[in-house]
């Protein structure tokens, strides 16, 4: 399965944001990193079909994307706060032509939220419902726009676990470099609407600093980039909370303007 | 998609505008009852300020109030339908529903069809309520009317309501920035509701001004004939308004950028 984005140009009323973007995404998880305003959201909106490109093409195995190919989670919730979780899921299930949403509800463990109005959910619970909407109909491509943004540590970790369990092509934007090491198979760095790097994490190279804490004890470990997932897992296993994962190479790619 | 959206739009409309819709329905019912009662209870003794022979003054009052009823119903039905259409669009913009719908493969055509069905279903409901109410009132109060005025009571709300509903979908999807137009002094104005409410308000005002003007020149023209001509003019105006209504369906295009930008200009 191959998602090909060719010569993509996308813009709004006030100008072009993505200019001449080319990439081929295969099965697996790609994290798109970039500073605010780099075009991450616009890129996802174009692939999802929310925005029509000014130029270029987006194809899945050589064919234009069709209804049901994409599961999309954006900054915009898409959920009506006055309707219950069940009513929102029923609506999107009908829109997507899916008969039953039970399996998605079971998979995400949100059964207890079904009768609660969306307006009464926490940010984390709401994000789980948004992911459930994206998962309806088992799409072949998942587009997730900063899905952990604004979530506490618990829900952010839960969302990352869900993302890791998704099949197909997963494109996940973030402005937090450390997320790359927990989610990604490959990394794509965007700057001012242009791709400055796209490849496996190992290709980034360089040393990575992992900062972790257990009670009052803070640990800083320096390791190779391809050892990071194993290091994080090991630290968590030993009861540490991973506070930060810093890669100088990735920060260099993102540039000085990245916060 | 269309059935799901229709059901949801009514839920959203109910949740966001229930109080407004109920109040408007009550005001409409009260206004209709008041006007029809006024028309039925007009007697040579009770009609004042109309410089006409008493019997003619009674007929004039009945006809004039009937024309007011028809244009008032047109206004109420139009505004109520536009509340559902524009309210649904505005709520869906705020909640990011359009972004998720487009992101899940819903086409512009599907959305346009869904919203026209939402609009016309809302119009149909409010139109039937208003017409049943007014016809029942006329039957109960035994007001006899000429054929042309009965057509007015049906046709004016029908055409104005359909026109306004079509205009609402057109404005809501093609010009979503009208929901929040900057006034230049730091605040924003919802121009969308104003634009779609305007046609029915103009018809109402023209009818009132024309009817009162007829009283002023009643010494040189036959006021009853003049009111019937006004009724005919309203029928012609209704036919003219009906003509471009189907065009809204073909003219409407979806401003995706505007709809996913929460209407901020």
Q: Looking at this predicted complex, what is its ipTM?
A: 0.86
Task: For residue range B118-136, list pLDDT tens digits in order.
Answer: 999 999 999 999 999 999 9
The residue of chain B with its CA nearest to that of A89 is: B4
Interchain contact, A94 vs B101, CB within 8 Å: no
Q: How many domains does chain A have?
A: 1
B111 — pLDDT class (breaks 50, 70, 90): very high
Shortest Cα distance, chain A CAs vs residue B104, angstroms = 6
Write the CATH number for A63.
3.40.50.300
Calculate the average pLDDT of chain B: 88
Q: What is the pLDDT of residue B13?
A: 67
Q: Are strands A194-200 and A207-214 parallel, antiparallel or unpaired?
A: unpaired
Cα(A215)–Cα(A63) distance, integer angstroms: 53
Please state at what angle helix B191-216 crosses helix B223-242, rounded to 10 degrees. Answer: 160
> Number of Cβ pairs closer than 8 Å across A and B?
94
Residue A115's nearest CA partner among A86, A144, A72 is A86
How many residues comprise chain A?
A: 259
Instruction: Please give, rounded to a whole number of angstroms, the shortest distance from the CA of B184 to a CA of chain A.
Output: 19
Flag whether A99 is in a domain. no
Question: Is A91 domain-assigned?
Answer: no
Q: Is A16 exposed, middle or buried (0-12, 13-18, 19+ CB in 10 A)?
A: middle
Q: Tell which of B17, B103, B262, B264 to mutate to test the A interface (max A CBs under 10 Å).
A: B103
pLDDT in tens, B208-229: 999 989 888 877 888 889 999 9
Give the pLDDT confidence score for residue A180 in this predicted structure. Answer: 82
Q: Is residue A250 part of a domain?
A: no
| B104 neighbourhood in chain A, CB within 8 Å | 48, 67-68, 70-72, 92, 95-96, 133
Residue A162, pLDDT score: 93
Q: Which chain A residues have a beta carbon less than 8 Å from that of B96?
A: 74-78
Best A50, A96, A145 residue to mutate vs chain B (most B CBs within 10 Å): A50
Test A81 with B95 for CB contact under 8 angstroms.
Answer: yes
Cα separation, B257 vs B261, whole angstroms: 6
Which of A12, A66, A96 lies nearest to residue B257, judging by beta carbons? A12
A167 three-state secondary structure: coil
Q: What is the mean pLDDT of residues B39-46?
A: 81
Indicate whether A95 belongs to any domain.
Answer: no
With beta carbons less than 8 A apart as the criterion, state whether A5 and A33 touch: no
Q: Are residues A133 and A118 in contact, defined by beta-carbon separation less than 8 angstroms?
A: no
Nearest to B103 among A13, A49, A90 (CB): A49
Q: How far apart are CA B2 and CA B69, in angstroms?
A: 34
* Distance from the B86 Cα atom to the nearest Cα atom in chain A, whole angstroms: 16
- pLDDT classification of B49: cutoffs 50, 70, 90: low
Find chain A residues with C-beta within 8 A of B105's C-beta.
49, 65-70, 96
Asked if the structure places residue A222 within a domain, the reply is no
Q: How close is the nearest chain A Cα to the Cα of B27, in Å?
A: 27
The predicted structure's pLDDT at residue B238? 92
Do A80 and B16 lie within an 8 Å CB cutoff?
Answer: no
Cα–Cα nearest to B137, from B39, B210, B222? B39
Per-residue pLDDT, B263: 40
Q: Inter-chain contact A50–B260, Cβ cutoff 8 Å?
A: yes
When pLDDT is cut at 50, 70 and 90, the band that residue B153 belongs to is: very high
**How high is the pLDDT of residue B130?**
94
Q: From the CA of A199, how many Å to the nearest CA of chain B?
A: 26
How confident is the model at residue B47, as a pLDDT?
Answer: 75
Whether A134 is in a domain gets the answer: no
CA distances from A35 to A193, A197, B129, B143, B254 (A): 10, 14, 56, 73, 30
Instruction: Return the pLDDT at A178.
Output: 76
pTM to 2 decimal places: 0.87
CA distance A143 to A172: 6
The Cα–Cα gap between A145 and B99 comes to: 12
Higher-confidence position of B139 and B181: B139
- Domain residues for the domain of A196 are 2-69+139-205
Per-residue pLDDT for chain A (259 aa), expressed as one digit of tens each? 899 999 999 988 778 899 899 999 999 999 999 888 889 999 999 999 999 999 999 999 999 998 889 999 998 889 999 899 999 999 999 999 888 889 999 999 999 999 999 999 999 999 999 999 999 999 999 999 999 988 888 898 899 999 999 989 999 998 777 778 888 889 999 988 889 899 988 888 778 888 889 888 899 999 888 788 888 889 888 988 888 888 888 888 887 554 4
Picking from A157, A42, A132, A195, the residue whose alpha carbon sits closest to that of residue B261 is A42
Q: How does pLDDT run across B74-98, given as a tens digit for each residue?
A: 999 999 999 999 988 988 998 899 9
Residue B2: the pLDDT is: 82
Residue at A130 is within a domain: no
Which H, E and C letters describe chain B, residue by residue?
Answer: CHHHHHHHHHHHHHHHHHHHHHHHHHHHHHHHHHHHHHHHHCCCCCCCCCCCCHHHHHHHHHHHHHHHHHHHHHHHHHHHHHHHHHHHHHHHHHCCHHHHHHHCCCCHHHHHHHHHHHHHHHHHHHHHHHHHHHHHHHHHHCCCCCHHHHHHHHHHHHHHHHHHHHHHHHHHHHCHHHHCEECCCCCEECHHHHHHHHHHHHHHHHHHHHHHHHHHCCCCCCHHHHHHHHHHHHHHHHHHHHCCHHHHHHHCCCCHHHHCCCCCC
Amino acid B264: pLDDT: 37
More confident residue, B262 or A243: A243
Q: Which residue has the higher pLDDT, A231 or B185?
A: A231
- Mean pLDDT throughout B172-192? 82
- For residue A85, tell me if it sits in a domain: no
Give the closest residue to B175 by CA, choosing from B188, B187, B201, B193. B193
Instruction: Indicate yes or no: CB of A52 within 8 angstroms of CB of B106.
Output: no
B40-49, B138-147, B194-203: range with highest mean pLDDT: B194-203
| % chain B with pLDDT above 90 | 49
Burial B47-68 (b: 16+ CB within 10 A, else e): beebebeeebbbbbbbbbbbbb
């Amino acid at each position: 399965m191959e998602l090909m984005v060719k010569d993509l140009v996308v813009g709004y009323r006030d100008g072009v944001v993505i200019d001449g973007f080319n990439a081929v995404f295969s099965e697996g998880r790609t994290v798109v990193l970039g500073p605010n305003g780099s075009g991450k959201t616009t890129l996802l909106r174009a692939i999802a079909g929310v925005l029509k490109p000014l130029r270029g093409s987006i194809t899945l195995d050589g064919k234009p994307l069709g209804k049901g190919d994409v599961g999309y989670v954006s900054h915009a919730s898409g959920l009506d706060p006055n309707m219950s979780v069940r009513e929102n899921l029923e609506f999107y299930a009908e829109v997507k032509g899916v008969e039953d949403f039970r399996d998605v509800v079971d998979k995400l463990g949100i059964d207890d939220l079904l009768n609660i109005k969306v307006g009464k959910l926490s940010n984390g619970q709401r994000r789980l419902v948004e992911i459930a909407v994206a998962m309806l109909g088992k799409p072949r491509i998942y587009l997730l726009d900063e899905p952990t943004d604004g979530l506490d540590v618990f829900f952010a970790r839960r969302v990352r676990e869900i993302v890791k369990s998704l099949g197909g092509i997963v494109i996940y934007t973030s402005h937090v470099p450390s997320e790359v090491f927990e989610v990604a198979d490959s990394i794509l760095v965007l700057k001012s609407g242009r791709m400055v790097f796209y490849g496996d994490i190992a290709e980034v190279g360089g040393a990575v600093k992992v900062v972790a804490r257990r009670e009052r004890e803070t640990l800083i470990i320096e390791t190779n980039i391809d050892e990071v997932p194993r290091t994080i897992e090991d630290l968590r296993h030993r009861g540490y909370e991973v506070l930060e994962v810093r890669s100088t190479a990735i920060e260099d790619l993102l540039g000085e303007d990245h916060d | 998609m269309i059935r799901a959206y229709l059901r949801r739009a009514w839920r959203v409309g109910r949740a966001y505008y229930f109080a407004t819709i109920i109040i408007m329905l009550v005001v409409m019912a009260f206004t209709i009852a008041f006007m029809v009662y006024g028309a039925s209870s007009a007697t040579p003794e009770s009609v004042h300020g109309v410089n006409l022979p008493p019997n003619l003054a009674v007929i004039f009052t009945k006809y004039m109030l009937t024309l007011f009823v028809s244009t008032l119903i047109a206004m109420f039905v139009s505004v109520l339908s536009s509340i559902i259409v524009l309210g649904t669009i505005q709520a869906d913009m705020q909640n990011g529903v359009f972004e998720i719908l487009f992101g899940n493969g819903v086409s512009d055509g599907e959305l346009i069809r869904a919203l026209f069905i939402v609009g016309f279903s809302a119009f149909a409901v409010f139109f039937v309520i208003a017409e049943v109410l007014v016809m029942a009132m006329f039957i109960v109060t035994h007001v006899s009317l000429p054929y042309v005025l009965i057509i007015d009571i049906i046709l004016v709300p029908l055409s104005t309501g359909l026109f306004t509903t079509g205009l609402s979908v057109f404005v809501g999807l093609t010009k979503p920035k009208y929901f929040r137009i900057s006034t230049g002094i730091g605040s924003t104005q919802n121009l969308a509701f104003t634009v779609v409410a305007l046609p029915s308000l103009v018809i109402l005002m023209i009818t009132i001004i024309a009817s009162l003007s007829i009283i002023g020149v009643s010494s040189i023209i036959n006021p009853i004939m003049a009111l019937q001509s006004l009724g005919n003019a309203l029928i012609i105006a209704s036919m003219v308004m009906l003509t471009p209504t189907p065009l809204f369906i073909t003219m409407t295009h979806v401003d995706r950028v505007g709809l996913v930008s929460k209407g901020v200009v």
